[in-house]
Amino acid sequence: MRLHSVGIILLAAFLLQVGVAGAAEQPAWVPAMKKVHADFKGKSGTFAHFGDSITYSMAFWSSLQWKPAKAEDGFEESRQKVLKYMLKDCWRGWKGPKYGNYSGKTVAWANSNADGWLAKLNPEVVLIMFGTNDLGGVSVEKYEEGLRKLVARCLANGSVVILSTIPPRNGRETKAAEYAKVARKIAKELNVPLSDFHAESLKRRPDDWNGTAAKFKGYKTYEVPTLIAGDGVHPSNPAKWGRDFSAEGLRHNGFNLRSYLTLKAYVEVMDAVLSTAGKQPAAKKPAPIKKASSVPDESWWPKAPALAAPKGQVIKVASAGELFDAAGKVRPGGTISVAAGHYRLSRRLGIKTDRVTLRGATGNRNDVILDGGGIGELVAFTACSDVTVADLTIQNVKWNGFKIDSETGVQRLRIYNCVIRNVWQRGVKGVIVPEKDRRKLQPRDCRVEYCLFYNDRAKKYGDDEADTAKNFGGNYIGAIDVMYARGWTISDNVFLRIQGRTREGRGAIFLWHEIEDCAVERNIIIDCDKGVSLGNSYMPKNRGVKLHARRCIVRNNFITRAPEAGVLAAHTSDCKILNNTIHEPRSRMRRLVRILGASDGLMVAENILSGPPPRNESGGKVTIENNLVKNLTAAFVDPGAGNLHLKTPLAEVVDRAKTRPEVTDDIDRTKRGRKPDLGADEVGR
Ligand SMILES: [Ca+2]
Ligand SMILES: [Ca+2]
């Protein structure tokens, strides 16, 4: 199991704060950035600058490509290093909105565009400075949330971040200082190097940085002989100190000061991180086919260990026709290996052979896309056991993405490291099993692991003509919906934006109709209408259903903003809801945990419920104990993005859970030890 880099970064920050890590010779960001850089697969020497006009201006950075008239000691050596190392185009070519910098822009703008920039530029290092244009209307808290998200995005891309504070600003001195504090705090918490333009400006001109002051009257805007121009907003750029990077020059030319600080920070990163990280030859690897830039991914999400290489018969396919052929002729135990590419399937692909593996050839699930283009069902399993589907994407399906023909007997199916995108009824569907031979046929011991289920948007009328204003109102949608499941494991998946038209859909995981001994664990569920449903309020008695779920467990999941219910137990027996972290302080239905019907023997314990307490609408024997019910918005790493890891160990969480045999590790697979914490994330041991 690979550890998650943000987790490591946070842990490292925590250890340093409490002094456990011992004397740190090097700044804490060095090991952290080495880890980030280890994931970097792009071109060495790429250096992107994300920012507003203070970044977009050619007065910043571009001028460093020419030798200055005067400079501080060591400056020229640093400059030469960068000249040799950095991609030439990054001196002046990477300017403009397509490169992440433009006048008047804000953190919010950056967050809506950063995925595109990162995909296109794939920079080895990113400099970030936003805030000057946020000062007017964005609260310090919002600014922090946005900036943190932006930094995390870049880190998740494998880009090393240099975070810069904004310069002081006339008329908004206090708020600019608060923004600078926020940037320092984020740099510290996420362990990224800081370029402190704000502090360095005040250090050099504590009392007269402000070019609007009376004593600078008579100078043209950028010609003022101090650090902030006559407009009170931008750094100055007086011609007299235009080529001067000496101590004197750096007191008089604001843009030069910023370029100088950036140069310093970049060279520090080069020396400490880039040169020691084992440089990859620039752009020698074949370019990934259609880099799926828009596919969400976060460094803290579970990462699937690679599957072993296929054994036995391997059929390599590189077209839709070959794929259908292979599915028809593959022998039991054989593998269909699909080359990287985008495959349009015009009909359902049936798997009917035991022990077959259908997998993407590269191991990267974004490289192989099976695209239904809106057909009803995409990949179906009929009368087969021990089938694996792995390392690929399925998308654009009207009804069922992976369809289990449960009435034919499908056992031990494994869906591993797949992306399931824009499927408008069910990503994984297991249908009704008729009463005759049900015990024999019902789907047993299946696993859905390390998958990403996501939709680009909420469902609309027209995605699926069967879902209309007369029946489901556009809300017939869910990620996994299986009936009569036995011994299933649904683990380490991410579910994102599985939403009905009015946000009253089925959401992420829906197990019902006499299910038994299933485990739902370590999943991350964000902005789905429901989180996990064991059962349903509706009891289909005509199908011989006496209970919906027996002996199932829901543990160690993160669930954020599931307005219809975080976890629902309805008509269950002896089920357990343990050590989940569920966050939605302003829950419209007040159902972070909801209990319905006779749910005898249900145990709801050791959860963190950041929002309203459990809603027990059941008449059964239910135990609700030792949950922390409290709005913890401020304590989570990034609740906006669904990251409910705790920033710091809270006394009311750490070691407050009962030791239970069912919960031995946490959402990160960290061992709980003898003193488990509440919620899904073990923080203190
Ligand atoms: Ca503990
Ligand atoms: Ca943990």
Residue 199 has pLDDT above 80, yes or no: yes
| Angle, in degrees to the nearest 10, between helices 254-269 and 75-85 | 60
Query: How far is the centre of ligand 1, averaged over its atoms, from the C-alpha of 651 (Å)?
Result: 10
CA of 679 to the centre of ligand 1 (A): 11
Element (H, E) at 173: helix 173-190
C-alpha of residue 253 to centroid of ligand 2, in Å? 47
**Structural domains of the chain, with CATH:** 6-19+26-272 (3.40.50.1110), 305-454 (no CATH), 504-685 (no CATH)
Helix (H) or strand (E) holding 81: helix 75-85
386-409 pLDDT per residue, tens: 999 999 999 999 999 999 999 999
Backbone angles phi, psi at 291, to 5 degrees: -50, 115
**So what's the pLDDT on residue 542?**
79
369 pLDDT above the threshold of 90: yes
**521 alpha carbon – ligand 2 mean position (Å):** 14
* Nearest ligand for residue 650 CA: 1
Q: Cα of 414 to ligand 1 centre, how many Å?
A: 33
Q: DSSP for 123-148, please give it.
A: -SEEEEE--TTTTTT--HHHHHHHHH
Using the mean position of ligand 2's atoms as its centre, give its distance from the Cα of residue 225 in Å.
52
pLDDT attached to residue 540: 86
pLDDT tens-place string over residues 284-324: 444 444 444 589 999 999 999 999 999 999 999 999 999 99
Question: Quick check: 203 pLDDT over 60?
Answer: yes
Q: What separation in Å is there between the alpha carbon of 164 and the centre of ligand 2?
A: 29
Q: In this model, does residue 126 exceed pLDDT 70? A: yes
Classify the phi-psi angles of 522: left when phi > 0, otherwise alpha if psi is within -120 to 50, otherwise beta: left
Rounded to the nearest angstrom, the distance between the alpha carbon of 187 and the centre of ligand 1 is 27
- Model confidence at 1: pLDDT above 60: no
Cα–ligand 1 centroid distance for 338 (angstroms): 44
Query: Ligand 1 centroid to 633 CA: how many Å?
Result: 21
Contact 297, 156 (CB under 8 A): yes
Task: Provide CB contacts within 8 A for 483, sequence distance 6+.
Answer: 406, 430, 431, 432, 433, 511, 512, 513, 514, 515
Q: Give distance in angstroms: CA of 11 to centre of ligand 2.
A: 9
Ligand sitting nearest the alpha carbon of 651: 1
Nearest to residue 402, comparing CAs of 430, 426, 373, 379? 379
Stretch 318-345: mean pLDDT: 97
pLDDT at 279 over 50: no
| Ligand nearest to C-alpha 685 | 1
Q: How far is the CA of 646 from the centre of ligand 2 (A)?
A: 8
How far is the CA of 52 from the CAs of 84, 183, 214, 241, in angstroms?
Answer: 27, 16, 27, 23
Q: Quote the pLDDT of residue 25.
A: 65
Answer yes or no: is pLDDT of 373 > 50. yes
- pLDDT value, residue 541: 80
Phi, psi (deg, nearest 5) at residue 521: -145, 150
Residue 450 has pLDDT above 50, yes or no: yes
Distance 654 CA to ligand 1 centre (A): 5
Query: Which of the residue ranges 279-288, 557-566, 570-579, 649-658 would you say has the lowest mean pLDDT?
Result: 279-288
Strand partners, 274: none
Does residue 7 register a pLDDT over 90?
Answer: no
Looking at the chain, the whole-number percentage of residues with pLDDT higher than 70 is 93
- Quick one: tokens of 599? 């749910």
Q: Which residue has the higher pLDDT, 151 or 25?
A: 151
Q: How confident is the model at residue 598 (pLDDT cuts 50, 70, 90)?
A: confident
Task: Tell me the residues surrounding ligand 2 (ion) with CB < 5 Å.
Answer: 666, 668, 670, 681-682
Q: What band does 197 get if pLDDT is binned at 50, 70 and 90?
A: very high
Residue 551 CA to ligand 1 centre (angstroms): 26
**Ligand positioned closest to the Cα atom of 646:** 2
Helix, coil or strand: residue 602: strand
**Nearest ligand to the CA atom of 670:** 2
pLDDT at 41: 85
The tens digit of pLDDT for each residue in 459-507 reads 999 999 999 998 999 999 999 999 999 999 999 999 999 999 999 999 9
Tens digits of residue pLDDT in 34-57: 989 988 888 999 999 999 999 999
- Ligand at minimal distance from the CA of 522 is 2
pLDDT at 276 over 80: no
pLDDT of residue 289: 41
Residue 649 CA to ligand 1 centre (angstroms) = 9
- What pLDDT is attached to residue 293? 55
Is 59's pLDDT higher than 70? yes
Q: Which ligand is closest to the CA of 656, given by its number?
A: 1
Predicted confidence at residue 290, as pLDDT, reads 43
Query: What are the tokens at 92?
Result: 């002046």
Residue 228 φ then ψ, to 5°: -105, 135
- pLDDT tens profile 253-274: 999 999 999 999 999 999 999 8
Q: Are 374 and 397 in contact (CB under 8 A)?
A: yes
Question: H helices within 533-645, ranges in order?
Answer: none
Separation in Å, CA 245 to CA 64, 123, 261, 422 = 10, 27, 11, 54
Over residues 75-92, mean pLDDT: 93
Q: 671 CA distance to ligand 2 centroid (A)? A: 9
For residue 665, give the ligand nearest its CA.
2
Ligand nearest to the CA of 684: 1
- How is residue 48 written in tokens? 């992107």
Ligand nearest to the CA of 581: 2
Q: How far is the CA of 275 from the centre of ligand 1 (A)?
A: 38
Beta bridge partners of 616: 595
- Quote the pLDDT of residue 327: 98
Q: Round the average pLDDT of the chain to a whole number and report it.
A: 92
CA dihedral of residues 342, 344, 349, 353 (deg, nearest 10) = -30
Ligand 2 centroid to 29 CA: how many Å?
20
pLDDT band at 165 (very low <50, low <70, confident <90, very high): very high
Cα 672 to averaged position of ligand 1 atoms, centre (Å): 6
DSSP three-state, residue 314: strand
pLDDT of residue 277: 44
Q: Which residues keep their CB under 5 angstroms from ion ligand 1? A: 655, 675, 677, 684-685
CB atoms within 10 A of CB 297: 15
| Ligand 1 mean position, distance from CA 520 (Å) | 22
Going through 412-529 in order, the beta strands assigned E by DSSP cover 414-416, 419-423, 426-430, 447-449, 452-454, 478-483, 489-491, 494-496, 507-512, 515-516, 519-521, 524-526
Task: Tell how far the Cα of 668 is from the centroid of ligand 2, in angstroms.
Answer: 5
Q: How far is the CA of 656 from the centre of ligand 2 (A)?
A: 15
Q: How far is the CA of 631 from the centre of ligand 2 (A)?
A: 19
Q: Report which of residues 417 and 619 the model is more confident about.
A: 417
pLDDT band (50, 70, 90) for residue 10:
very low
Closest ligand, as measured to the CA of 681: 2
Q: Which of the four pLDDT bands, split at 50, 70 and 90, describes residue 14?
A: very low
Expressed in angstroms and rounded, the spacing between residue 18 Cα and the centre of ligand 1 is: 16
Confidence class for position 63, pLDDT limits 50, 70, 90: confident
Residues 646, 652, 654, 658, Cα dihedral to 10°? -130
Q: Are 508 and 525 in contact (CB under 8 A)?
A: yes
Q: How far is the CA of 280 from the centre of ligand 2 (A)?
A: 32
Distance 17 CA to ligand 2 centre (A): 18
